[in-house]
Each structure stands twice: as structure tokens, then as C-alpha cells.
Amino acid sequence: MTMSEIERALCALRLSGIRATLETRILQAQANQEPFLDTFSLILQDELDRRRSRLMDRRYQQSGLDERLTLADLDWRFNPKLPRAACFELHTLKFITEGQNGLIIGKPGTGKSHVAKAIAYQATLQGLNVRYLEADSAFAKYALGNDAEQRKQLRTLLDADLLVLDDLFLARRISDAASEMLQSLVHQRYKLRRSIVVTSNRVVQDWGKYLHDNTMATTILDRLMHRAHLLEFEGKSYRLKEAASRLTGLTAQETIKTDSTKND
Ligand SMILES: Nc1ncnc2c1ncn2[C@@H]1O[C@H](COP(=O)(O)OP(=O)(O)O)[C@@H](O)[C@H]1O
Ligand SMILES: [Mg+2]
């Protein structure tokens, strides 16, 4: 085969990773007088690498995440009472393999969504199928769909390896359709042993009120909590801190430093 025939064959076989590096690998092999097997494994690795990074990109695009957050972006000194060890434990993603859930409950602005998004992003990097939803807008979208659309939405959310419901009960009351969707998601994912991460500013004792139905709240909570990591986020709002810093023209980091110097 000529070089252009090889290129066409690689294209037809969808081996774009090999196609991208082949010329370099040929030059490298000639320059180093490499044994064939060494060159061949490098070429094979190029294809594997390309596929893996494509998969991670696709997983991120499908996830519904809007930012690639990590736990490294958090300043753990800002709210020293955050359950740091539990956050990192969830970040290992072992809970997904074990079909456990994560409930991140606590005050606004303390980093609940940040941690949930970091876990979700990490899961996409591991090639997992993740769905991240802001609960209220997902419920509203669901309520607008016809039967077929609702079934399709549920199917997608049930199929995911990890489902993140961010800011559950932000609007306090949710519609009957939304309650049923939530119940269905929690029940079916529980049976399938598929993990859910929920974040909420609302203490679980109040969930019955928001669902208009205590029995439903109990059955939802039962299943969510049965195999769950419960993380309580106590502390000050980083959002307020950032807003205050903008007013005074300091960055949040500088404000924290200024504050901690004051306390010394
Ligand atoms: N400890 C922290 N260090 C750095 N940034 C933080 C910290 N806590 C929160 N943030 C940032 O503050 C903003 C609000 O956090 P968020 O996770 O949305 O709070 P919550 O979901 O608890 O209301 C986000 O931009 C987040 O990245
Ligand atoms: Mg939030």
C-alpha cells in the first residue's frame, strides 16, 4: 500500500488515533531503528489514547455539566467544618461501584454544588455515563413534556451510572408531576443499584412539606438514605464573601487572608 492508501484504510477503519501519529511513528522507528513490536505498541497506544479522550469528551458533553470543577479549586480553610474526608471519599467514586448515594445538605454558598459537580466531572473522566441536573429546571422541563417525551427523559436518567440532582427543593414546592418523577427516579435507581447525588439547602425533615405528601417523602428518603453518605455543609457563604470582596475591590482569597490575619 502507498501512504495515501494506508491513510484511506485507516479512515475506513475509523482508526483516527493511528492516522494522526503514523508519520511521526514511522520517522521515530527509522531514527531509532526500533524493533517492530515496539513501534506497533506505540501506534496501538496512540489509538487507545485518542479513543479514551474522545470518550471523556463525549461523557462531559452528555453530562449536562457547565463547568469542569475539581476539589482542588476549593479553599478548605474558608469553611473548616466541611466534611472534607467524606468529600474526597465520594470523589474516589467507590460509592458508584457500590450503588450508594450521596446527600449533600446544608447552608447556601458553602460549596455543595461545587463538590457535586467535581464528583460528576471526575466520573466523566473515568468514562462513566453521568447526568447532572438542576432539579427545578429539570422538573419544569419534565412537566412540559408529553408522555413519550417524559418516558424518554426518565429512561436517560435511569440509564446513567451517576445522577446528580442539584438544589433539590430550591423552590420549596414542587408540582405533582415533579414529585412523581422524583419518586420514580429514586425507586427505580434504587432497584438498579445506581447512585444518586442530591444537594439541597433544605433539611430532610422538611421534605414531606415540599412533596405535599409525607408518605411519599418517607419512601423517597428511605431509599435515598438506605445506602447513603450524608454530608452536612455548615459554614459561611462563599458567594457572599465574593460579593463583599467585589464591593471592596479585593479578591475572595485576599479577603480571607485579611480576615484570618484579623483573627490572629
Ligand atoms: N470553600 C470554597 N473555596 C472556594 N470556592 C468556594 C468555596 N465554597 C464555595 N465556593 C464557590 O462559591 C460559589 C458558590 O458555591 P456553591 O457550590 O454553588 O454553593 P451551594 O451549592 O452550597 O449553594 C461557587 O462558585 C463555588 O465554586
Ligand atoms: Mg447549589
Residue 10: give the domain boundaries: 3-63
Same domain, 99 and 200: yes
Exposed / middle / buried, residue 5 (Cβ in 10 Å: 0-12, 13-18, 19+): exposed
pLDDT tens digit sequence for 58-105: 999 999 999 999 999 999 999 999 999 999 999 999 999 999 999 999
Tell how far the Cα of 180 is from the centroid of ligand 1, in angstroms.
30
**164 Cβ inside 6 Å of ligand 1:** no
Q: Domain of 230: which CATH number?
A: 3.40.50.300
Which residue among 63, 80, 105 closes a domain? 63
Ligand 1 atom nearest 107 alpha carbon: 22
pLDDT tens-digit readout, 28-46: 999 999 999 999 999 999 9
Torsion of CA 207, 211, 214, 218, to 10 degrees: -60
- Which residue type does 110 have? T
110 within ligand 1 shell (Cβ under 6 A): yes
Provide the residues around ligand 2 (an ion) whose CB is within 5 A.
Answer: 113, 167
Which distant-in-sequence residues (6+ apart) come within 8 Å of 70 by Cβ? 118, 121, 122
